[in-house]
Amino acid sequence: MTDKEKFCKEVTIICDTREKENKHILNSLDAHGIKHESKKLDFGDYSFKISDRDFSMQCVVELKANIDELWTNISRERERFEKEINAMSCITHSPNLIIECCLDRDFLMNFKVDPYIMQVQNRGVEDVGKYIYSTLESWSSSNRYSLNVHYMKGNDGTANLMLNIFYYYWHNYRELVKPLRN
């Protein structure tokens, strides 16, 4: 059994109780036989525990279902959202943001709201991608929040991406705390 297979067998993914739209993640975890539980997290949407060690104050994932949700957080709820990102950064070693339905940084940077949606929703900003991109670049800087931003083309692989983030954090943690050889 590989180290990652052992991790997947023993890990429990912690889902924040306030996370509502996560059926696709829970279904994927169930399909792979990975345990999960709901628990109120101080910040972020997901974390993990393994054996008797809870990593919810060390490694967390904030999940956004799409660019539009992220735009709402950055534009209308910025003070609250930035405070959460700041807390994640100050307290954890690994603050992560996953943006679903966003192929990559270039896709985000060039994202524009459809003119019809602009009119129907009475929006004032069309080039939301440029604004979000520059905000995330600033927040990713090591002298700001060191936020790790991850992009998902859709939402099919989100659970696997989270597992990778958590696995490598755990793997590195174990390497750091194992006894030194004589």
Report the CATH number of the 3-101+146-173 domain.
3.40.50.10130
Q: Name 16's bridge partners.
A: 39
Longest dimension (CA), the chain: 69
pTM for the model stands at 0.93
Domain range annotation of the chain: 3-101+146-173
> pLDDT tens across 47-56, in order?
999 999 999 9
**The tokens of 170 are what?**
């755990």
Question: H or E segment at 99?
Answer: strand 94-99
How does pLDDT run across 82-132, given as a tens digit for each residue? 999 999 999 999 999 999 999 999 999 999 988 888 788 777 888 999 999
